[in-house]
Amino acid sequence: MDDGLEPEEPALSPAVEAMLERIRPETDNRPLEAQGLEVEERTGERVPGELVLTNSRGRAVTLGSYFNDDGRPIILAMVYYDCPVACTAVLDRMCASLARLNYEPGTDYQIVAVSFDHTEKSSDAAIKKELALAALDKPLTPEVRAGVAFHTTDAATARMLSDATGFPYRLLPNGEYSHPIAVMILTPDGTISRYIHGFDYPPRRVRLALLEASEGRIGSSIGDMFLAMCFLYDPRSGAYTLQAFRIMQGGAILSALAMVALILTLRIRETMRRKQSLTPAAA
């Protein structure tokens, strides 16, 4: 598992890497009907919790049923399961990155995938869920399985979620969909906290996005505290950057804690020494 401090990208199979190269042209040479679909970020807006989805077991659930009070951020991915390249690569790379973190789905975060292709079925969602669970490489506890949720829905609901998240898609004449490449990180109450664009999901970036969305509630290690304090999101670069002032603040806090620990240690030792020196006199 990754400590989140190195910006390494998860390794992928040669087949997936080859697919990515096919859809990374230097110029936009897509057909006209496939162009012009860009994410319009809705950061700070809450997604509609009343939207009804169908989970991989064929049961109706609301999007809001994944909102929670225990600090778990939500990774929302709008995809379609029959996508020949892009959606498979997005899910594969995101899960490979999450596999390297010491966070557990269902305990520390929630994955919610929704197909915007209304013709897809629960069985399609179930297959993709099992592939995602395998890529996450976590023990298949009930909590982990519940923390990875794949869905289908009707055309109208898919369009409402698309409008709410600023994630457009368009059906092409060949039956495939054109859409941007991005996943959304939501706060536990369903507010859009951050978008992660493209196919690159370095573990540190994903970890920072989850810590930010949870307001630090899922982080328990010193490394998590350091990341949450010393990295801030830069909207101009679309990345998290190290803040010198925050590092100084963090250093000052650590120095103060070390000083307090030293003083307490010295006092405890002095108290023990005095007790030992008084023992013979009492005897």
Structural domain boundaries in the chain: 14-214
Question: What local confidence, expressed as pLDDT, does residue 233 receive?
Answer: 45
Q: Based on C-alpha coordinates, what's the Rg of the chain? A: 24
Q: Does residue 32 have a pLDDT over 90? A: no
Q: Does residue 149 or residue 252 have the better pLDDT?
A: 149
Distance, in Å, from the CA atom of 64 to the CA atom of 188, rounded to the nearest integer, reads: 10
- For 124-132, the CB contacts below 8 A with 24+ separation are 124/81, 124/82, 124/152, 125/54, 125/55, 125/56, 125/81, 125/150, 125/151, 125/152, 126/56, 126/57, 126/150, 127/81, 128/56, 128/81, 128/91, 129/56, 131/91, 132/91, 132/95
Measured in residues, the chain has a length of 283
Question: HSE of 78 in the Cβ direction (CA atoms, 13 Å)?
Answer: 31
CATH 2.60.120.480, applies to 14-214: no
| Residue range 74-122, pLDDT digits in tens | 999 999 999 988 999 999 999 999 999 999 999 999 999 999 999 999 9
The pTM assigned to this predicted structure is 0.72
Q: What is the DSSP letter of 133?
A: H
Q: How far is CA 62 from CA 43, 50, 54, 278, in A?
A: 21, 6, 8, 70
Other residues' Cβ atoms within 10 Å of the Cβ of residue 29: 8
Question: What local confidence, expressed as pLDDT, does residue 146 receive?
Answer: 97
The residue-averaged pLDDT of 143-149 equals: 97
- Work out the mean pLDDT of the chain and round it to a whole number: 81
The residue-averaged pLDDT of 20-28 equals: 49
Q: Answer for the pair 97, 10: CB distance below 8 angstroms, yes or no.
A: yes
| Residue range 216-256, pLDDT digits in tens | 665 554 444 444 444 454 566 555 455 544 445 555 555 66
